Amino acid sequence: MTLRTIDSLGELAGKRVVVRCDLNVPLDGETITDDGRVRASLPTLNALLAQGARVVVISHLGRPKGEPEAKYSLRPVAARLGELLDAPVGFASDTVGEDAQAKVAALGDGEVLVLENLRFNAGETAKDDAERRAFAEQLAAFADVVVSDGFGVVHRKQASVYELEQLRPSAAGLLIAAELEVLDRLTETPERPYTVVLGGSKVSDKLGVIAHLLPRVDTLLVGGGMLFTFLAAQGHKVASSLLEADQLDTVRGYLAEAAERGVELVLPSDVVVAASFSADAEHVVTAADAIEETPFGSAGLGLDIGPETAADFAARIRGSKTVFWNGPMGVFELAPFAAGTRAVAEALTEVDGLSVVGGGDSAAAVRQLGFDDAQFGHISTGGGASLEFLEGKQLPGLEVLGWQ
Protein backbone atom coordinates (compact mmCIF):
# COMPACT_ATOMS: atom_id res chain seq x y z
CA MET A 1 0.00 0.00 0.00
CA THR A 2 1.10 3.57 -0.61
CA LEU A 3 0.47 6.07 2.17
CA ARG A 4 2.37 9.13 3.35
CA THR A 5 3.37 8.50 6.97
CA ILE A 6 4.72 10.75 9.73
CA ASP A 7 8.30 9.84 8.75
CA SER A 8 7.79 11.69 5.47
CA LEU A 9 7.34 14.99 7.34
CA GLY A 10 10.95 15.14 8.50
CA GLU A 11 12.17 16.66 11.76
CA LEU A 12 9.20 17.94 13.80
CA ALA A 13 10.91 19.47 16.86
CA GLY A 14 9.55 22.98 17.39
CA LYS A 15 7.06 22.66 14.54
CA ARG A 16 3.34 23.25 14.92
CA VAL A 17 1.60 20.00 14.01
CA VAL A 18 -2.17 20.13 13.57
CA VAL A 19 -3.52 16.63 14.21
CA ARG A 20 -7.00 15.74 12.96
CA CYS A 21 -8.18 13.16 15.50
CA ASP A 22 -11.58 11.52 15.84
CA LEU A 23 -12.56 12.29 19.42
CA ASN A 24 -16.28 11.89 18.76
CA VAL A 25 -17.00 10.10 22.02
CA PRO A 26 -20.39 9.45 23.67
CA LEU A 27 -21.16 11.85 26.51
CA ASP A 28 -23.60 11.68 29.39
CA GLY A 29 -23.64 15.34 30.33
CA GLU A 30 -19.93 16.02 30.68
CA THR A 31 -19.03 12.40 31.45
CA ILE A 32 -17.41 10.35 28.70
CA THR A 33 -19.10 6.93 28.67
CA ASP A 34 -16.61 5.30 26.25
CA ASP A 35 -13.13 6.82 25.81
CA GLY A 36 -11.98 4.27 23.22
CA ARG A 37 -11.43 6.88 20.52
CA VAL A 38 -9.44 9.10 22.87
CA ARG A 39 -7.20 6.16 23.77
CA ALA A 40 -6.80 5.30 20.08
CA SER A 41 -5.32 8.75 19.44
CA LEU A 42 -2.55 8.34 22.02
CA PRO A 43 0.13 6.52 19.97
CA THR A 44 0.27 9.27 17.34
CA LEU A 45 0.16 12.10 19.89
CA ASN A 46 2.88 10.51 22.02
CA ALA A 47 5.07 9.97 18.94
CA LEU A 48 4.76 13.66 18.01
CA LEU A 49 5.37 14.85 21.55
CA ALA A 50 8.46 12.64 21.81
CA GLN A 51 9.88 14.61 18.87
CA GLY A 52 9.22 17.92 20.60
CA ALA A 53 6.40 19.00 18.29
CA ARG A 54 3.86 21.65 19.24
CA VAL A 55 0.65 19.67 18.90
CA VAL A 56 -2.70 21.26 18.03
CA VAL A 57 -5.51 18.68 18.22
CA ILE A 58 -8.68 19.22 16.17
CA SER A 59 -11.82 17.06 16.12
CA HIS A 60 -15.58 17.11 15.84
CA LEU A 61 -18.05 15.83 18.42
CA GLY A 62 -21.69 15.07 17.68
CA ARG A 63 -23.69 16.86 15.03
CA PRO A 64 -24.00 20.56 15.87
CA LYS A 65 -25.46 22.68 13.08
CA GLY A 66 -22.47 24.87 12.29
CA GLU A 67 -22.62 26.96 15.46
CA PRO A 68 -21.61 26.47 19.11
CA GLU A 69 -23.74 24.17 21.30
CA ALA A 70 -22.54 23.65 24.86
CA LYS A 71 -23.51 19.96 24.95
CA TYR A 72 -21.09 19.26 22.08
CA SER A 73 -18.06 21.01 23.60
CA LEU A 74 -14.74 19.16 23.45
CA ARG A 75 -13.74 20.54 26.87
CA PRO A 76 -14.43 17.21 28.73
CA VAL A 77 -12.49 15.37 26.03
CA ALA A 78 -9.50 17.68 26.43
CA ALA A 79 -9.56 16.99 30.17
CA ARG A 80 -9.63 13.21 29.60
CA LEU A 81 -6.83 13.47 27.05
CA GLY A 82 -4.71 15.22 29.66
CA GLU A 83 -5.34 12.38 32.12
CA LEU A 84 -4.37 9.74 29.56
CA LEU A 85 -1.26 11.60 28.41
CA ASP A 86 -0.40 12.36 32.04
CA ALA A 87 0.47 15.88 30.93
CA PRO A 88 -1.22 19.28 30.82
CA VAL A 89 -3.49 19.74 27.80
CA GLY A 90 -4.65 23.24 26.91
CA PHE A 91 -8.10 24.02 25.56
CA ALA A 92 -9.22 26.84 23.28
CA SER A 93 -12.82 27.95 23.67
CA ASP A 94 -13.15 28.54 19.92
CA THR A 95 -11.77 26.82 16.82
CA VAL A 96 -10.14 29.56 14.74
CA GLY A 97 -11.05 32.66 16.77
CA GLU A 98 -9.11 34.88 19.14
CA ASP A 99 -8.69 32.33 21.92
CA ALA A 100 -7.40 29.66 19.53
CA GLN A 101 -5.05 32.13 17.84
CA ALA A 102 -3.58 33.30 21.13
CA LYS A 103 -3.14 29.81 22.59
CA VAL A 104 -1.61 28.36 19.42
CA ALA A 105 0.85 31.26 19.35
CA ALA A 106 1.81 30.57 22.98
CA LEU A 107 2.25 26.80 22.53
CA GLY A 108 5.69 25.49 23.48
CA ASP A 109 7.68 22.48 22.31
CA GLY A 110 6.16 19.21 23.54
CA GLU A 111 2.88 20.87 24.51
CA VAL A 112 -0.69 19.99 23.48
CA LEU A 113 -3.67 22.22 22.76
CA VAL A 114 -7.18 21.03 21.87
CA LEU A 115 -9.31 23.43 19.80
CA GLU A 116 -13.09 23.60 20.23
CA ASN A 117 -15.41 21.44 18.09
CA LEU A 118 -14.73 21.80 14.35
CA ARG A 119 -18.43 21.52 13.58
CA PHE A 120 -19.19 24.70 15.49
CA ASN A 121 -18.06 26.21 12.18
CA ALA A 122 -20.33 25.79 9.15
CA GLY A 123 -17.34 25.59 6.82
CA GLU A 124 -16.24 22.21 8.19
CA THR A 125 -19.10 20.25 6.63
CA ALA A 126 -20.22 22.73 3.93
CA LYS A 127 -21.32 21.28 0.59
CA ASP A 128 -19.66 24.24 -1.14
CA ASP A 129 -15.99 23.56 -1.95
CA ALA A 130 -14.98 27.22 -1.59
CA GLU A 131 -16.60 27.49 1.85
CA ARG A 132 -14.80 24.36 3.08
CA ARG A 133 -11.50 25.58 1.67
CA ALA A 134 -11.86 28.97 3.36
CA PHE A 135 -12.29 27.28 6.74
CA ALA A 136 -9.39 24.91 5.98
CA GLU A 137 -7.17 27.93 5.28
CA GLN A 138 -7.98 29.30 8.74
CA LEU A 139 -6.96 25.97 10.28
CA ALA A 140 -3.85 25.79 8.09
CA ALA A 141 -2.69 29.11 9.55
CA PHE A 142 -2.00 27.18 12.77
CA ALA A 143 0.08 24.48 11.07
CA ASP A 144 3.56 23.90 9.75
CA VAL A 145 2.47 20.34 8.94
CA VAL A 146 -0.75 18.33 9.26
CA VAL A 147 -1.22 14.79 10.55
CA SER A 148 -4.53 13.13 9.69
CA ASP A 149 -5.43 10.46 12.23
CA GLY A 150 -9.23 10.49 12.42
CA PHE A 151 -10.02 7.24 10.65
CA GLY A 152 -13.72 7.53 11.52
CA VAL A 153 -14.08 10.51 9.17
CA VAL A 154 -11.87 9.63 6.19
CA HIS A 155 -14.95 8.78 4.13
CA ARG A 156 -16.15 12.40 4.44
CA LYS A 157 -14.98 15.26 2.20
CA GLN A 158 -14.78 17.82 5.01
CA ALA A 159 -12.49 20.80 5.50
CA SER A 160 -10.31 19.24 8.19
CA VAL A 161 -10.16 15.86 6.44
CA TYR A 162 -9.56 16.85 2.83
CA GLU A 163 -8.82 20.51 2.06
CA LEU A 164 -6.56 21.09 5.09
CA GLU A 165 -4.32 18.20 4.03
CA GLN A 166 -3.89 19.86 0.62
CA LEU A 167 -2.78 23.18 2.11
CA ARG A 168 0.18 21.96 4.18
CA PRO A 169 2.61 19.02 4.06
CA SER A 170 0.45 16.18 5.39
CA ALA A 171 0.67 12.54 6.39
CA ALA A 172 -1.32 9.78 8.02
CA GLY A 173 -0.97 9.15 11.73
CA LEU A 174 -0.29 5.76 13.33
CA LEU A 175 -3.98 5.02 13.86
CA ILE A 176 -4.91 5.41 10.19
CA ALA A 177 -1.87 3.36 9.16
CA ALA A 178 -2.89 0.57 11.56
CA GLU A 179 -6.52 0.62 10.41
CA LEU A 180 -5.49 0.37 6.76
CA GLU A 181 -3.08 -2.48 7.40
CA VAL A 182 -5.88 -4.51 8.99
CA LEU A 183 -8.53 -3.63 6.41
CA ASP A 184 -6.13 -4.37 3.57
CA ARG A 185 -5.59 -7.83 5.05
CA LEU A 186 -9.36 -8.36 5.20
CA THR A 187 -9.84 -7.52 1.54
CA GLU A 188 -6.62 -8.66 -0.11
CA THR A 189 -4.77 -11.29 1.94
CA PRO A 190 -7.07 -12.94 4.50
CA GLU A 191 -5.87 -16.15 6.12
CA ARG A 192 -8.51 -18.85 5.73
CA PRO A 193 -11.05 -19.94 6.80
CA TYR A 194 -12.37 -16.34 6.54
CA THR A 195 -15.68 -15.56 8.28
CA VAL A 196 -17.63 -12.30 8.18
CA VAL A 197 -20.34 -11.67 10.79
CA LEU A 198 -22.87 -8.99 9.91
CA GLY A 199 -25.61 -7.65 12.16
CA GLY A 200 -27.20 -4.33 12.94
CA SER A 201 -30.66 -3.18 12.06
CA LYS A 202 -30.71 -2.67 8.30
CA VAL A 203 -29.66 -4.75 5.31
CA SER A 204 -29.52 -1.54 3.29
CA ASP A 205 -26.58 -0.32 5.42
CA LYS A 206 -24.57 -3.42 4.51
CA LEU A 207 -25.45 -3.98 0.82
CA GLY A 208 -22.12 -2.75 -0.51
CA VAL A 209 -20.14 -4.76 2.02
CA ILE A 210 -22.01 -7.97 1.22
CA ALA A 211 -21.53 -7.45 -2.52
CA HIS A 212 -17.81 -6.72 -2.18
CA LEU A 213 -16.99 -9.46 0.34
CA LEU A 214 -19.07 -12.36 -1.01
CA PRO A 215 -16.36 -13.25 -3.58
CA ARG A 216 -13.70 -13.11 -0.84
CA VAL A 217 -15.11 -14.95 2.20
CA ASP A 218 -15.73 -18.58 3.10
CA THR A 219 -18.61 -18.00 5.54
CA LEU A 220 -21.07 -15.16 6.08
CA LEU A 221 -23.08 -15.16 9.33
CA VAL A 222 -26.15 -12.91 9.44
CA GLY A 223 -27.78 -11.68 12.65
CA GLY A 224 -29.28 -8.50 14.06
CA GLY A 225 -32.37 -6.81 12.71
CA MET A 226 -31.24 -7.44 9.15
CA LEU A 227 -31.74 -11.20 9.58
CA PHE A 228 -35.52 -10.80 9.26
CA THR A 229 -35.27 -9.46 5.73
CA PHE A 230 -33.21 -12.53 4.86
CA LEU A 231 -35.80 -14.83 6.48
CA ALA A 232 -38.61 -13.05 4.64
CA ALA A 233 -36.68 -13.44 1.38
CA GLN A 234 -36.78 -17.20 2.01
CA GLY A 235 -40.55 -17.03 2.41
CA HIS A 236 -40.78 -17.07 6.22
CA LYS A 237 -43.13 -14.84 8.22
CA VAL A 238 -41.38 -12.46 10.60
CA ALA A 239 -44.36 -10.97 12.50
CA SER A 240 -43.64 -7.35 13.47
CA SER A 241 -39.87 -7.73 13.34
CA LEU A 242 -37.79 -5.20 11.44
CA LEU A 243 -38.25 -5.79 7.72
CA GLU A 244 -36.99 -3.91 4.67
CA ALA A 245 -39.48 -5.10 2.08
CA ASP A 246 -37.79 -3.10 -0.68
CA GLN A 247 -34.62 -5.16 -0.23
CA LEU A 248 -36.16 -8.63 -0.61
CA ASP A 249 -35.15 -9.09 -4.25
CA THR A 250 -31.61 -7.88 -3.53
CA VAL A 251 -31.30 -10.32 -0.63
CA ARG A 252 -32.57 -13.19 -2.79
CA GLY A 253 -29.82 -12.28 -5.22
CA TYR A 254 -27.22 -12.53 -2.46
CA LEU A 255 -28.55 -15.89 -1.32
CA ALA A 256 -28.29 -17.17 -4.90
CA GLU A 257 -24.81 -15.72 -5.41
CA ALA A 258 -23.56 -17.23 -2.16
CA ALA A 259 -24.81 -20.65 -3.23
CA GLU A 260 -23.23 -20.24 -6.65
CA ARG A 261 -19.85 -19.23 -5.20
CA GLY A 262 -19.86 -21.94 -2.54
CA VAL A 263 -19.97 -19.37 0.27
CA GLU A 264 -21.77 -20.61 3.36
CA LEU A 265 -24.34 -17.91 4.13
CA VAL A 266 -25.71 -18.89 7.53
CA LEU A 267 -28.98 -17.54 8.92
CA PRO A 268 -30.20 -18.09 12.49
CA SER A 269 -32.02 -21.33 13.28
CA ASP A 270 -33.70 -19.76 16.31
CA VAL A 271 -34.50 -16.24 17.51
CA VAL A 272 -35.67 -14.48 20.67
CA VAL A 273 -39.11 -12.97 20.13
CA ALA A 274 -40.61 -10.41 22.51
CA ALA A 275 -44.07 -8.97 23.09
CA SER A 276 -42.70 -5.42 22.90
CA PHE A 277 -39.50 -3.42 22.64
CA SER A 278 -38.52 -3.11 26.29
CA ALA A 279 -36.20 -4.72 28.82
CA ASP A 280 -39.06 -6.18 30.86
CA ALA A 281 -41.08 -7.47 27.91
CA GLU A 282 -42.24 -11.07 27.94
CA HIS A 283 -40.10 -13.05 25.48
CA VAL A 284 -39.61 -16.59 24.20
CA VAL A 285 -37.14 -18.51 22.04
CA THR A 286 -38.61 -19.93 18.86
CA ALA A 287 -37.46 -21.51 15.61
CA ALA A 288 -36.59 -18.93 12.96
CA ASP A 289 -39.30 -20.31 10.65
CA ALA A 290 -41.98 -20.16 13.37
CA ILE A 291 -41.83 -16.54 14.55
CA GLU A 292 -45.57 -15.95 14.18
CA GLU A 293 -46.36 -19.13 16.12
CA THR A 294 -45.32 -17.63 19.47
CA PRO A 295 -47.97 -16.43 21.99
CA PHE A 296 -47.49 -12.93 20.53
CA GLY A 297 -48.58 -13.93 17.03
CA SER A 298 -48.11 -11.30 14.35
CA ALA A 299 -47.29 -8.68 17.01
CA GLY A 300 -44.05 -10.41 18.06
CA LEU A 301 -40.71 -8.66 17.67
CA GLY A 302 -37.50 -10.55 17.01
CA LEU A 303 -34.85 -8.89 19.21
CA ASP A 304 -31.91 -11.32 19.29
CA ILE A 305 -30.54 -14.50 17.79
CA GLY A 306 -31.43 -17.59 19.84
CA PRO A 307 -29.08 -19.71 21.99
CA GLU A 308 -28.75 -22.49 19.39
CA THR A 309 -27.70 -19.94 16.76
CA ALA A 310 -25.37 -18.18 19.20
CA ALA A 311 -23.57 -21.47 19.89
CA ASP A 312 -23.38 -22.29 16.17
CA PHE A 313 -22.04 -18.83 15.24
CA ALA A 314 -19.51 -18.98 18.07
CA ALA A 315 -18.19 -22.38 16.94
CA ARG A 316 -17.81 -21.17 13.35
CA ILE A 317 -16.01 -18.03 14.52
CA ARG A 318 -13.60 -19.98 16.76
CA GLY A 319 -12.82 -22.29 13.84
CA SER A 320 -11.77 -19.40 11.57
CA LYS A 321 -8.37 -17.80 11.01
CA THR A 322 -9.77 -14.40 9.98
CA VAL A 323 -13.00 -12.89 11.34
CA PHE A 324 -14.55 -9.49 10.65
CA TRP A 325 -17.60 -8.53 12.69
CA ASN A 326 -19.80 -5.49 12.14
CA GLY A 327 -23.17 -5.02 13.81
CA PRO A 328 -24.67 -6.47 17.01
CA MET A 329 -26.71 -9.68 16.92
CA GLY A 330 -29.62 -8.14 18.83
CA VAL A 331 -30.70 -5.22 20.97
CA PHE A 332 -27.67 -5.58 23.22
CA GLU A 333 -28.54 -2.39 25.14
CA LEU A 334 -31.41 -4.35 26.74
CA ALA A 335 -30.03 -7.12 28.97
CA PRO A 336 -32.51 -9.88 27.95
CA PHE A 337 -31.48 -9.44 24.30
CA ALA A 338 -27.69 -9.17 24.68
CA ALA A 339 -26.79 -12.88 24.79
CA GLY A 340 -26.26 -13.28 21.04
CA THR A 341 -23.94 -10.30 20.80
CA ARG A 342 -22.06 -11.47 23.91
CA ALA A 343 -21.56 -14.96 22.43
CA VAL A 344 -20.14 -13.54 19.19
CA ALA A 345 -17.83 -11.16 21.06
CA GLU A 346 -16.61 -13.95 23.35
CA ALA A 347 -15.88 -16.19 20.37
CA LEU A 348 -13.87 -13.42 18.69
CA THR A 349 -11.59 -13.28 21.72
CA GLU A 350 -10.77 -16.97 21.13
CA VAL A 351 -9.87 -16.76 17.42
CA ASP A 352 -6.44 -18.21 16.61
CA GLY A 353 -5.73 -15.58 13.98
CA LEU A 354 -7.00 -12.10 13.16
CA SER A 355 -10.22 -10.94 14.85
CA VAL A 356 -11.55 -7.51 13.85
CA VAL A 357 -14.42 -5.64 15.48
CA GLY A 358 -15.70 -3.25 12.84
CA GLY A 359 -16.29 -0.09 14.84
CA GLY A 360 -19.57 1.69 15.49
CA ASP A 361 -22.19 -0.24 17.48
CA SER A 362 -20.00 -3.35 17.58
CA ALA A 363 -17.20 -1.51 19.36
CA ALA A 364 -19.70 0.04 21.76
CA ALA A 365 -21.22 -3.37 22.42
CA VAL A 366 -17.97 -5.14 23.36
CA ARG A 367 -17.09 -2.38 25.82
CA GLN A 368 -20.58 -2.17 27.29
CA LEU A 369 -20.60 -5.94 27.75
CA GLY A 370 -17.36 -5.76 29.73
CA PHE A 371 -14.75 -6.93 27.23
CA ASP A 372 -11.32 -5.33 27.06
CA ASP A 373 -10.00 -3.93 23.76
CA ALA A 374 -6.83 -6.00 24.15
CA GLN A 375 -8.88 -9.23 23.88
CA PHE A 376 -9.43 -8.58 20.16
CA GLY A 377 -6.96 -8.41 17.31
CA HIS A 378 -8.25 -4.99 16.29
CA ILE A 379 -11.18 -2.74 17.14
CA SER A 380 -11.80 -0.25 14.37
CA THR A 381 -12.52 3.35 15.32
CA GLY A 382 -14.53 3.96 12.15
CA GLY A 383 -17.78 2.08 11.58
CA GLY A 384 -18.88 3.94 8.44
CA ALA A 385 -15.34 4.38 7.14
CA SER A 386 -14.56 0.68 7.67
CA LEU A 387 -17.67 -0.36 5.80
CA GLU A 388 -17.04 1.97 2.88
CA PHE A 389 -13.45 0.74 2.63
CA LEU A 390 -14.71 -2.85 2.59
CA GLU A 391 -17.19 -1.87 -0.11
CA GLY A 392 -14.21 -0.97 -2.28
CA LYS A 393 -15.04 2.74 -2.34
CA GLN A 394 -12.47 5.50 -2.76
CA LEU A 395 -12.30 7.53 0.46
CA PRO A 396 -11.38 11.21 0.04
CA GLY A 397 -9.55 11.46 3.38
CA LEU A 398 -7.25 8.62 2.29
CA GLU A 399 -6.77 9.70 -1.31
CA VAL A 400 -5.43 13.06 -0.12
CA LEU A 401 -2.79 11.16 1.91
CA GLY A 402 -1.56 9.27 -1.15
CA TRP A 403 -3.42 6.03 -0.47
CA GLN A 404 -3.85 3.83 -3.53
Q: What is the DSSP string of 101-131?
A: HHHHHTPPTT-EEEPP-GGGSGGGT-SSHHH
Q: Which of 320, 306, 308 is nearest to 348 (CA)?
A: 320
- Quote the mean pLDDT of the chain: 96
DSSP reduced 3-state for 183:
helix
User: Do the beta carbons of residue 112 and residue 89 sit within 8 Å?
Assistant: yes
The pLDDT assigned to 1 comes to 59
The pLDDT assigned to 359 comes to 73
The pLDDT assigned to 387 comes to 87
Q: How much of the chain is helix, strand and coil, in % rounded to 5?
A: 40, 15, 40
**Would you please indicate which residues are annotated as catalytic (active-site) residues?**
37, 202, 360, 384
The pLDDT assigned to 384 comes to 86
Element housing 250 (H / E) = helix 248-261
Q: Is 283 within any annotated ligand binding site?
A: no
Percent of the chain, pLDDT > 70? 100
Show the low-confidence residues of the chain (pLDDT under 50): none
Cα angle: 168, vertex 171, 177; to 5 degrees: 160
Q: Is 360 within any annotated ligand binding site?
A: yes
d(CA 317, CA 303): 21
Q: Is 61 within any annotated ligand binding site?
A: yes
pTM of the full predicted structure? 0.91
The pLDDT assigned to 65 comes to 93
Q: Is 168 within any annotated ligand binding site?
A: no
Q: Is 392 within any annotated ligand binding site?
A: no
The pLDDT assigned to 382 comes to 85
